[in-house]
Amino acid sequence: MTRLNALDPKEATGRSKELFDGIQAKLGMVPNMMRTMGNSAAVLEGYLNLSDALGKGSLGGKLGELIALAVAESNACNYCLSAHSFIGEKLVKIDTDSLSQAREGKNSDAKIEAALTFAKALVQKGGRVANEDVQAVKEAGYTDGQVGEIVAHVALNVLTNYFNNTAETEIDFPVVEAATV
């Protein structure tokens, strides 16, 4: 049972209605997470704006999805694991082995694995990473700006993980469950 209600986009008003209309036009649906965020247009708009900005960043969609999975596994967010597994496979065309490995911070590409390791360290250490953590991701080939983007991707996904875990958002993607709780 959900703890926060998902709004019906057909009954929404004001800024939330405008945002829902834009999401519907772009995705062909309004996912339950966004419908639930729509209870506060400020929350939904903040999420959409940061997500859109990061989508224009230098890390690319593939790494963004892999980071989302690493963070979601760390925070045991089944909604985000389900959504990003689906998006990663169907829209970004990431193979299922890479999607599964990302949850543990692993990848066959050493540079991608360094980013995932750093993302998981950020979550595990509450953002208080060590000099060695930052040095390792930079030595893997990431610029200062890209390290900042990894931090921002982690922050965006912590927001959605915490939101969905609080709301107990109904999963509207094929269900994937965290290995750890």
Going along the chain from its start, the domains and CATH numbers come out as 14-55 (no CATH), 60-167 (1.20.1290.10)
What pLDDT was estimated at residue 2? 94
12 Cβ neighbours under 8 A, 6+ residues apart = 20, 38
What pLDDT was estimated at residue 181? 58
Helix axis angle, 131-139 to 144-167, nearest 10°: 120
Q: Can you list the residues of the chain whose pLDDT is less than 70?
A: 181
Closest CA to 102 of 130, 133, 87, 81: 81
| Residues 54/149, Cβ–Cβ less than 8 Å | yes
Closest CA to 117 of 13, 40, 94, 130: 130
What pLDDT was estimated at residue 106? 98
76 Cβ neighbours under 8 A, 6+ residues apart = 165, 178, 180, 181
